[in-house]
């Protein structure tokens, strides 16, 4: 091979090597964009909690006596306050017990949540036209499990109503009002003297089912794209 060819080939090799190096360090114009989005989980806060939930301790209770709690915050009615950001379905579980069965002689004359009747939904187990504390206990204990997003949730009691989150039109407050009576059955009831009846109310708030957010429930506050999309649906609207 001539010296000239060797030089040319050497130059070619150098040129290719230079291209290889340039290819590895090639500079280019570029631009990039990013979008930072986030979810903020809603909250369920059912207030008041013990020991602030209204309760009572009545002495010298006798047949014919009545306990009427139908005025919010003025008697032992139980006011539930949704202090979270999500609406909830409220469930109630009642427990009652007495050594001499006085709880079977105390009847529930009225029971409402937010002014809506609950008593009419309770099964009259004894078929006597009355609902006793014992029957209310059994009804809430044997209520069908609650469901959220198709999942079964047991041991929360019976559904009593919807409690919205606080907004411009809702206070997020509803009361459980009631009227109880120690029934005088017209028979000798001396064996009930000195008995003590214990009553427990447990309230559980569960979230409503999940919803789909799309163009009909999101808005970016401007024409066209861009901006930050926020939900515009009414979370207190019952589906």
Q: Omega into 8 within 30° of 0, i.e. cis?
A: no
Does residue 238 form part of some domain?
no
Does residue 24 form part of some domain?
no
Does residue 23 form part of some domain?
no
Q: Which residue did the predictor score with more confidence, 203 or 73?
A: 203
Rounded CA gap, 100 and 102, in Å? Answer: 6
Domain count, the chain: 1
Does residue 224 form part of some domain?
no
Query: In whole numbers, what is the pLDDT of the chain averaged over residues?
Result: 81
Does residue 232 form part of some domain?
no
DSSP per residue, 171-230: --EEEEEEEEEE---SS--GGGTT--EEEEEEEEEEEPPP----TTTEE-SSSSS-S--E
The arithmetic mean of pLDDT across residues 154-172, rounded, is: 92
pLDDT the model gives residue 8:
40
pLDDT in tens, 211-228: 999 999 999 988 877 889
Does residue 192 form part of some domain?
yes
User: Range of 160's domain?
Assistant: 46-207
Does residue 61 form part of some domain?
yes
Q: Omega into 225 within 30° of 0, i.e. cis?
A: no
Residues paired with 69 in a beta bridge: 178
The arithmetic mean of pLDDT across residues 164-170, rounded, is: 90
CB atoms inside a 10 Å sphere around CB 61: 15
DSSP per residue, 14-79: HHHHHHHHHHHT--------------------EE--TTSS------S--TT-EEEE-STTTSS-EE
pLDDT the model gives residue 55:
75
Alpha helices, DSSP H only, in the chain? 3-24, 133-141
The domain that holds 80 is classified in CATH as: 2.60.120
The closest of 81, 23, 38 to 205, measured between CA atoms, is 81
Does residue 55 form part of some domain?
yes
Residues paired with 46 in a beta bridge: 82
CB atoms inside a 10 Å sphere around CB 161: 18
pLDDT the model gives residue 130:
94
| Residue 42 predicted with pLDDT over 80 | no
């Amino acid at each position: 091979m001539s010296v000239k060819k060797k030089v040319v080939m050497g130059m070619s090799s150098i040129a290719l090597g230079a291209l290889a190096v340039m290819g590895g360090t090639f500079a280019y114009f570029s631009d990039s964009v990013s979008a930072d989005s986030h979810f903020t989980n809603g909250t369920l806060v059912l207030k008041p909690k013990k020991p602030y939930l209204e309760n009572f301790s009545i002495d010298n209770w006798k047949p014919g006596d009545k306990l009427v709690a139908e005025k919010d915050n003025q008697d032992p009615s139980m006011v539930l306050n949704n202090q979270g950001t999500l609406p909830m379905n409220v469930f109630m579980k009642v427990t009652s017990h007495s050594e001499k069965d006085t709880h079977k002689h105390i009847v529930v004359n009225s029971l409402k949540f937010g002014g809506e009747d609950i008593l009419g939904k309770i099964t009259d187990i004894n078929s006597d036209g009355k609902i006793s504390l014992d029957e209310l206990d059994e009804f809430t204990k044997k209520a069908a499990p609650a469901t959220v997003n198709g999942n079964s949730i047991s041991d929360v009691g019976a559904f009593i109503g919807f409690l919205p989150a606080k907004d411009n039109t809702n206070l997020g407050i509803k009361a459980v009002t009631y009227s109880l009576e120690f029934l005088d059955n017209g028979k000798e009831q001396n064996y009930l003297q000195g008995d003590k009846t214990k009553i427990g109310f447990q309230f559980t708030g569960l979230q409503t089912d999940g919803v789909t957010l799309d163009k009909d429930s999101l808005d970016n506050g401007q024409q066209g794209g861009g901006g930050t999309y926020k939900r515009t649906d009414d979370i207190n609207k019952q589906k």
